Amino acid sequence: MARTELQTGDAPCELKPVASDPTLPRIVDFKNVSKVYHPGTRNEFTSIRDISFHIEDTPDVGEFIGILGPSGCGKSTVLRLIAGLAPHFPATTGEVLVHGQPVEGPGPDRGFVFQDYANFPHRTVLENVGFGLECAHVPDKERIERANEWIAKVGLDPKKDGGKYPHQLSGGMNQRVAIARTLIMHPRIILMDEPFGALDPGTRQNMQDLLVKLWRELEATVFFVTHDVSEAVYLGDRVFIFSPSPGTIVHQLAVMPPDRPAAEMQVEPAFLSSVKEVRRLLDQAGKPAL
């Protein structure tokens, strides 16, 4: 991995290289992972190359990892390898471990939130949110109670919104449903692939605040792919910066945790200075070596 060169701007810059604690168990561990599509054919394509990183399983607090990089560098590939979702899964070479065990496919310990919501169109909000519990054969009364609780947790009204269908909801409301549908199952690892990419800036900041609140409550480890540098710096404890394809991680940075509302913190000089620095490192990562 390239050396992390940090520069300070006008205001104090709050970026640090990531420190690791070897005594803690690892919740996610990538060991020299590469993914090659159509190997041995003229369409052979290496999407990620030799990626190694690990995230510690910190007691009572999950880490939030923001992932930045140019289009097509393999960000989704990394998420889907953790989730065990084909065709990105399995890796061509290397090892992907979750809780110290090789990933063998999808599992309830890992929840995925996509950009396009992926709510079931013919199910109501209540039925969408309760879907995982239904699959787990949770009795009706408990399922409805827990689904209503999660509808409220994501800022929707169980009475007013519970009976609506996805086509009757705005983009932000649909993404709230998708988040509730995933988090109701209490996954230890939450994988989010540009979940707020289609939302307007105001809705996006509200969703960022909501996510921080739910993440703190669930104490889960979150991997969050975004093209928005401010979003990654605001939400992340740690930010990964990828090189262009074939993707590698060129920087891992520790950033300030989100301890104030998005609209407040994202205009502060120290925050803006960190964003400027991450943008510089991202631009630098995208340039070919001299």
Ligand X SMILES: Nc1ncnc2c1ncn2[C@@H]1O[C@H](COP(=O)(O)OP(=O)(O)OP(=O)(O)O)[C@@H](O)[C@H]1O
Binding mask 120-149 for ligand X (x = CB under 6 A): ------------------------------
In 3D space, the residue among 46, 69, 66 whose CA is nearest the CA of residue 55 turns out to be 66
What minimum distance in Å lies between the beta carbon of 52 and ligand X? 17
Burial class from Cβ neighbours inside 10 Å (0-12, 13-18, 19+) for residue 137 reads: exposed
Binding mask 217-256 for ligand X (x = CB under 6 A): ----------------------------x-----------
Identify which of residues 70 and 257 has a Cβ nearer to ligand X in the complex.
70
Mark the segment that binds ligand X (CB under 6 A) among 23-31, 67-75, 102-110, 277-285.
67-75
Identify which of residues 22 and 87 has a Cβ nearer to ligand X in the complex.
87
In 3D space, the residue among 176, 175, 131, 127 whose CA is nearest the CA of residue 154 turns out to be 176
Query: Both tokens of residue 213?
Result: 């609140």
The alpha-carbon radius of gyration of the chain (Å, integer) is 19
Residues in region 31-60 near ligand X by CB under 6 A:
37, 45, 47
What minimum distance in Å lies between the beta carbon of 147 and ligand X? 31
Question: Residue 87, interface with ligand X (CB under 6 A)?
Answer: yes
> % helix / strand / coil in the chain, to the nearest 5?
35, 20, 45
The residue from 12, 25, 39, 72 that contacts ligand X (CB under 6 A) is: 72
Judge contact between 102 and 95, C-beta under 8 A: yes
Mark the segment that binds ligand X (CB under 6 A) among 2-10, 65-73, 103-111, 164-172.
65-73
**Helices of type H across the chain:** 75-83, 125-129, 131-135, 140-153, 158-161, 171-183, 201-218, 229-235, 262-265, 269-285
Identify which of residues 89 and 271 has a Cβ nearer to ligand X in the complex.
89
Identify which of residues 87 and 288 has a Cβ nearer to ligand X in the complex.
87
Q: What is the three-class DSSP state of 183?
A: helix
- Secondary structure (DSSP) of 79-106: HHHHHT-TTTPSPSEEEEEETTEE--S-
Consecutive H or E run containing 8: none
Identify which of residues 48 and 253 has a Cβ nearer to ligand X in the complex.
48
The residue from 71, 101, 139, 289 that contacts ligand X (CB under 6 A) is: 71
Catalog residues that contact ligand X under the rule CB under 6 A: 37, 45, 47, 69, 71-77, 87, 245
